[in-house]
Amino acid sequence: MVVPYKHEPFTDFTVEENRKALEAAIKQAEADLGKDYPLIIGGERIMTDEKIKVVNPANKKEVIGYVSKANQDLAEKAHKIADETFDWWRKTKAQFRADILFRAAAIVRRRKHEFTAHLVKEGGKPWKEADADTAEAIDFLEFYGRQMLEIDKGVEINSRPIENNRFHYIPLGVGVVISPWNFLFAIMCGTTVAAMVSGNTVLLKPASATPIIAYKMMEVLEEAGLPNGVINYIPGSGKEVGDYLVDHPRTRFISFTGSREVGTRLFERAAKVHEGQKWLKRTIIEMGGKDTIVVDSESDLELAADAITYSAFGFSGQKCSACSRVVAHEEVYDELLDRVVQKTKEQVNYGDPTDNSNYMGPVIDQSAYDKIMDYIEIGKKEGKLMTGGKGDDSKGWFVAPTVFADLAPDARLMQEEIFGPVVGFTKAKSFKEAIEIANNTEYGLTGAVISNNREHIEMAREDFHVGNLYFNRGCTAAIVGYHPFGGFNMSGTDSKAGGPDYLIHHMQGKTTSEML
């Protein structure tokens, strides 16, 4: 009997035993630096001459490891194996597939600090963020396993006296999973195992900045009983390997999490029907956001300041759900701004995330650093710099938590996704205007409203057009099974990861009708 789902609890690092355990795990992770990692195709480990060099974003001279890089020939080999494996994998019992996830969850839970320590080093995540990432990966394993068991029961439909009708879901085929670097374990794990437990075979191309955690997940799944060829681990160039797999006539679906630029390009490529292709490819795409916290004139300003601070600067703002815009009623604007600036100065320090006293770590790489610093220069022209605005890329890629005030709603800083620790403030004359400003971007992922006015809360529930809307809390930290996650408009296809219908995006409905 499978026990009811409950999310994995977060680790309390104020407890000395937990703190020492993670410190020991970080030391062990440091002892493993510089290793070589192979591809995994059909269960075969394949080393290639060309490698992806993975560095610690907090110390770019420190090499986490060297990961073999797939080319088109190897991608084709992996695709052929995945296609052949699908012929029998699609017929396996849902319980068999779900049990692999449950066993994998148990393995990760036992080795939780080991994975968290790796996320600190490879992803530059502070302890709290890394622990939450590991917990979310466990949640995806547990939740999707249970969801598959429910879906396997089929859906009740009507039958007439002369016939017996049934409706059930079947898998799609070979899927390409292209995962991001920010939730390097959780999203990578969730998107991969969702496809697998639904009965599909997978070609996993993790982000080039963080591919090693995906290899470690493969080891766990193999230990949990995953057969060879079901998931194939093929890190490589997006343009060489990613595009080739997306275009492949035998690819049935593409699951992507990342930038709008790449997501829209993949969406367009996937729409083209290639020679030998006999289906329209399905896309499951999540592309980011420009997320707003609205603060009403009737609100708890201390709660609002806390919500803004942790939503804007958690993991250096490198979350698609991060608060990058604050729209405050003009009556509370100045006081709220002062509180956020004060909290940022006093509480949001930054440095090497191996030191748990640091609230923020680095941004992921040089490209991200340069982009964020460019936006800070834009912000200085568009608004008033209240705190931060500095960066240091001499050792790692560090950007100070930055607050801009008095921005116009249509300013670039208020419209374009920065993906860094930068938040902009603008004011509204009424709550209605605040919601209009919140909706004035091309995105629609998350948002939050801080208000003690019930009428305004209900107005926002109807009119604030985002996939995940929160009241009187921040706009980050969705929990699998509790806050199904996915956005509208240019935030993606609203596939609602961690929700009751997510797995169905990887399946197709089939009706059978037998005359009696």
Return the H-helix or E-strand segment holding 251.
Answer: strand 251-257
Residue 293: C-alpha distances to residues 43, 182, 434, 448 (Å): 46, 21, 10, 5
Same domain, 137 and 108: yes
Same domain, 94 and 225: yes
Whose tokens are 């789902």? That residue is 5
Tokens at 371, concatenated = 């982009």
Whose tokens are 């681990």? That residue is 233
DSSP 491: T
198 domain-assigned: yes
Helix/strand/coil for 336 = helix
From CA 401, how far away is CA 423, in angstroms rounded?
Answer: 8
Same domain, 279 and 295: no
pLDDT at 494: 86
* Average confidence (pLDDT) per 10 residues, the chain, 516 residues: 92 98 97 97 98 98 98 98 98 98 98 98 98 98 98 94 96 98 98 98 98 98 98 95 97 97 97 97 97 98 98 97 98 98 98 97 98 98 98 98 98 98 98 98 98 98 98 98 97 95 98 97
User: For residue 443, what are the contacts with CB-CB under 8 A and spacing of at least 6?
Assistant: 288, 289, 290, 291, 417, 487, 489, 490, 491
What b/e sequence results for 26-55 when a residue is b if at least 16 CB atoms lie within 10 Å of its CB, and e otherwise? beebeeeeeeebebbbbeeebebeeebebb
Total residue count of the chain as it appears in this document: 516
Structural domain span for residue 117: 21-287+494-515
Active-site choice (286, 382, 417, 475): 286
Single pTM value for the model: 0.97
Dihedral through CA 133, CA 134, CA 135, CA 140, nearest 10? 90
From CA 324, how far away is CA 486, in angstroms rounded?
Answer: 17
208 domain-assigned: yes
User: For residue 22, what are the contacts with CB-CB under 8 A and spacing of at least 6?
Assistant: 11, 13, 113, 116, 117, 127, 131, 356
92 domain-assigned: yes
Helices 186-197 and 127-151, packing angle to 10 deg: 10
Same domain, 332 and 453: yes
Same domain, 29 and 112: yes
Same domain, 150 and 44: yes
From CA 168, how far away is CA 461, in angstroms rounded?
Answer: 34
Q: How many domains does the chain have?
A: 2
377 domain-assigned: yes
Task: Give the CATH number, domain containing residue 247.
Answer: 3.40.605.10
pLDDT at 331: 98
**Cα–Cα–Cα angle for 197, 200, 202, rounded to 5 degrees:** 100
Active-site choice (122, 129, 189, 320): 320
Helix/strand/coil for 276 = coil
Same domain, 49 and 145: yes
| Residue 298, number of CB atoms within 10 A of its CB | 16
pLDDT at 2: 81
Q: Where are the alpha helices (DSSP H) in 2-71?
A: 16-31
476 domain-assigned: no
Same domain, 73 and 101: yes
Helices 112-123 and 127-151, packing angle to 10 deg: 120
DSSP 235: -
304 domain-assigned: yes
Same domain, 88 and 108: yes
Same domain, 397 and 320: yes
481 domain-assigned: no
Same domain, 454 and 498: no
Same domain, 277 and 295: no
Catalytic, 286? Answer yes
302 domain-assigned: yes
Tokens at 258, concatenated = 């990342």
pLDDT at 214: 98
Task: Give the CATH number, domain containing residue 315.
Answer: 3.40.309.10
Of 419, 447, 443, 441, nearest in space to 308 by CA:
447
Tokens at 131, concatenated = 């622990």
